[in-house]
Amino acid sequence: MGARKNLSQSLNHELGPQGIHVVHVCLDGPVASPETIGLLMPKMYEKMMESKKPNDEMILPENVADTYWYLYSQPRSNWTLDLDIRPWKENPWMNSA
């Protein structure tokens, strides 16, 4: 992760003056989708989908999309260079059942 972050910073210093926005984004948690968390923790995913309520322990794909749109639409005067996306309630998700 450190190497990717350093590469992003280097690319930003190189390409930023040309108007190219480079951001290091880390999705630090389970993403609530059938292709990710649905395969890893199917019971938890099914329960969340049945309740129709967002789970505070998961990252929702539509919110990630909103965050990426925010990054895309930032003015050059205040570009984000490094961003961690985490769920509100952090748990060691890879060990839960």
Is residue 50 exposed (0-12), middle (13-18) or buried (19+ Cβ within 10 Å)? exposed
In this structure, the chain runs to a length of 97
Residue 73 tokens read as: 């639409």
- Indicate the domain borders of the chain: 2-95
Of 41, 52, 53, 55, which Cα lies nearest the Cα of 87? 55
pLDDT in tens, the chain (97 residues): 789 999 999 999 999 999 999 999 999 887 888 777 777 777 777 777 777 666 777 888 899 999 999 999 999 889 999 999 998 887 654 555 4
